[in-house]
Amino acid sequence: MVKVVAFDADDTLWHNEHLFLETRDRFTALLAGYHEKGWIEDRLYETELRNLGIFGYGIKGFALSMIETAIDLTETRVTGADVAEIIELAKGMLDAPVTLIDGAEETLKEVAGRYRAIIVTKGDLFDQETKLARSGLGNLVDTVEVVSDKSVNTYRRIMRSLAVSPEEFVMVGNSLRSDILPVIEIGGHAVFVSYETTWEHESVSDTALERLDFLRAESIADVPALLERFGEPRPRIPG
Amino acid sequence: MVKVVAFDADDTLWHNEHLFLETRDRFTALLAGYHEKGWIEDRLYETELRNLGIFGYGIKGFALSMIETAIDLTETRVTGADVAEIIELAKGMLDAPVTLIDGAEETLKEVAGRYRAIIVTKGDLFDQETKLARSGLGNLVDTVEVVSDKSVNTYRRIMRSLAVSPEEFVMVGNSLRSDILPVIEIGGHAVFVSYETTWEHESVSDTALERLDFLRAESIADVPALLERFGEPRPRIPG
């Protein structure tokens, strides 16, 4: 029944969010002379959300939002040296080694032996491609789709290009908002693999999760066994 | 013989390079108190090339390179207000109205009626997608491929995904380096449509162009007529 298994990449196959957390910490430390940590973090988050529609997701937009925040909350007194430090933080993120999540490679191999395995990752095209190259996982999958947003329409387009129906498609990922909800909404399957930390923007309220039909895995290594459950016919809910 | 006609977008279907030229002018004006225009431009170009491997192509990377250049050549004395102005310049570029090149829409319609028409554009995924949406051209084509670089391997991958051979593929664009050379190298066809200005990085030496088998169009409106020439058998070169 299932033909395609799609994996999210950031924080599903390799560690990513820790880079943002570490950079946020160094950013707040840089501006510690001006404001309290929590207040700086809140302003940065506001700037990121405000800029999302113009920068999209990714490290370069995040860097520009950090610089903008630093200028705003120092009333332009931030020094050139501090801004240079922010750019170096961003370059460090873009250049960081890719650390695979335990079990990711083995899981991908196992799944690719039984289904068509693909990667669907959101963010900056160039950054995602270089991470994929550094991860060594590219050869294990059939296709890699880098998308600017994981909306219902994005998943519809991907399914159409792969010529599969939603019932034949499983998405595996750590973001309820991006990997699970939109796929379930159009009748696909999803496996949620929890990650230690998730960006506030990607979180979803508990009420939105009620009545949603997806599976939860404690670890990516549990995914192959869970996939077999989608082969079973679903119980009909009398309407 | 020809099945797929692929169009470059920036400066082939819509004006783009003028945004960079205008922003470079405003950037050098901003730093006019520190250095001469030509010298600032050279330093900016150096920074862009140095950062290309870490930022890739696109406006956000260009913005970060402008900020880095401003810090370098003022020896960190650049003010927060000046850096804020650079971020505003970048936002203005990302938000600029998309102005179609004369004849682009009509040409795309005509070509799409006879061949499978696609767009292959290099740069930032999110920026290219929003430009495409603003251009209104998305519905005229079959597929849009946003790629991080237009290399021989990129074109091979695209042809494979469309299930066409190089002889069945024509690329139409204004960059010899990105649109013409790699396609010719793998046996495909190409139509070069000259544009008023081309970024230095995209230019190609005259010697590299000798003996290359591609067509030149004065305007995009000439493309449909030129495409018919690819239907004729090529003269065999003895040798």
Condensed to tens digits (0 to 9), the pLDDT of residues B40-70 reads 999 999 999 999 999 999 999 999 999 999 9
- Among A47, A50, A55, A69, most B C-beta atoms within 10 A, so best to mutate, is A55
**pLDDT on residue B187:** 95
- Give the strand order in the sheet containing B4-7: B143-147, B116-122, B4-7, B169-173, B189-193, B215-217
Distance, in Å, from the CA atom of B39 to the CA atom of B45, rounded to the nearest integer, reads: 10
pLDDT above 80 for B156: yes
DSSP letters of B79-121? -HHHHHHHHHHHHHHHTPPP-BPTTHHHHHHHHHHHSEEEEEE
A64 vs chain B: nearest CA distance in angstroms?
7
pLDDT of residue B209: 67
A20 closest CA partner among A55, A66, A53, A51: A66
Q: Which residue has the tokens 């990711």?
A: A104
Minimal-distance CA residue of chain B relative to A73: B80
Q: Which positions ≥6 away from A66 have C-beta within 8 Å?
A: A23, A27, A44, A86, A89, A90
Q: Is the pLDDT of residue A141 over 90?
A: yes
Res A236 pLDDT > 70: no
Q: B77 to each of A81, A203, B68, B80, how far by Cα in Å?
A: 8, 41, 12, 9
- Alpha helix locations (H) across B120-180? 125-135, 152-162
Please list every residue in chain B whose beta carbon sits closer than 8 Å to the beta carbon of residue A126: 55-58, 124, 148
Confidence of residue B230 (pLDDT cuts 50, 70, 90): confident
Query: What is the Cα–Cα distance from A177 to A210, expressed in whole angstroms?
Result: 14
> Do the beta carbons of residue B186 and residue B167 sit within 8 Å?
no
pTM: 0.89
Residue A234, pLDDT above cutoff 60: no
> What is the Cα–Cα distance from B154 to B120, expressed in whole angstroms?
10
Q: What is this model's ipTM?
A: 0.88
pLDDT band at A42 (very low <50, low <70, confident <90, very high): very high
d(CA A76, CA A70): 8
- Rounded distance, CA B7 to CA B13, Å? 8
Strand order in the sheet with A116-122: A143-147, A116-122, A4-7, A169-173, A189-193, A215-217
Do residues B68 and A86 touch, judged by C-beta distance below 8 A?
Answer: no
Chain B residues touching A75 at Cβ < 8 A = 80
Q: Is B83 in contact with A81 (Cβ distance < 8 A)?
A: no
How many interchain CB pairs under 8 A, A with B? 97
Give the residue-averaged pLDDT of A204-226: 84
Across chain B, how many H-helices and E-strands are there? 10, 6
What's the gap in Å between the CA of A60 and the closest CA on chain B?
A: 6
The percent of residues above 70 in pLDDT, for chain B, comes to 91
- CA A134 – CA B54 distance, rounded (Å): 13
